Structure 1
Amino acid sequence: MKIGYARVSTEDQSLDLQTTALVSAGCARLFSDHGISGSEFSRPGLKCALDTLSSGDTLVVWRLDRLGRSLRKLVELIEELGKRNIEFVSLTECINTTSSGGVLVFHVMAALAQFERSLISERTRAGMAAARNRGQHLGRRRSLSPEQREEALRLLVTIPLKLVAEKFAVHPRTLKRMLCDTSLADPPTRDATIPQGHR
């Protein structure tokens, strides 16, 4: 059985063009989403269509971007359909996983998705390296300023960790991590002692 899926991004758009094409393609049932962006893959109409599909069925869309706009997620979705023995057809792009040519197009899509992921990962690593070279701190913003860290370290010599944490409105684990970081950055001498209450 062929199951058709249609989508428009805004409320003032019409589904008529898509539904006509899907019916002409032989779809026995149609599901749709009205006024939902293609960047969202969690859609009620799409979910119903996917839940209705069974082994041997075919999911049909008028155009590939009606199913979604993320190439990576499209590939993942079509691969998942394949695992369920469900074929996929996109009418405009002539993608049809029931034919050898359609399978070839799908593999090209998968290669492009992998290439896209590699580029994103490479750009991310390059950006992080450049930020580190500029001396920028990566990750979450520190809970305490450098001045507060110095004051907290002085207080921890004589005041219990829990009370110091309350003073700076942070979790005790934050101060414990700070102590560990300080110990690693400036290893204690052989005569150094750990403040009582922190052992």
Structure 2
Amino acid sequence: MNQTPLPPTLVFVIGPPAVGKMTVGHEIARRTGLRLFHNHHTIDLVLQFFPFGTPPFGRLVHEFRRRIFEEVAASPLAGLIFTYVWAFDHPSDHAAVADLAAIFTARGGRVLYVELEATLDERLRRNEGEFRLAQKPSKRDVATSRRILLQNDAEYQLNSAGRFDAREDWLRIDNTHLPAADVAEQVIRHFALPRAAAPSG
């Protein structure tokens, strides 16, 4: 007798550049069976055709992300982990997150938010990490990546400052001194995420 699949789960892993979103997402994915979709999967693809910030770049990144969200939400997959740099002082980012979340909630899915924060010194160190550079080709020019990181910090509010801490679907973690595996375990326990039969990868 076939079991009705559970509604899909969407986990946003949010935070400033080089805070460890992708690495934490990878560890959550290994333990839960959720698929990791980090933001540079689309960014680095579209950069091969159009410069960052141009209208074609923005349209394609948005459409690729939306279509993947739609297909995962409609599939038998357990769900998705998506990493995102959220400028909390920009209404357009709030709208973008709400738009993606609605794809899952429309199907009865659960949407969760994990916000990471770390010191600037630690993020600058992680910006040159081997796993980050292997997975994100556009970050391999480390000097440029460092400059953009510092510029983003100066221009945008990239952490919530506790604004959403009272929400049941929100977990904020200072991961300055925490290994990604420990953060992943904290997330899984806090939200009671189902575990895969055995960690993969």
Same fold (TM over 0.5): no
TM-score with structure 2 setting the length: 0.31
The structure number with the bigger radius of gyration is 1
Greater relative contact order, per chain length (Cα 8 Å cut-off, separation 6+): 2
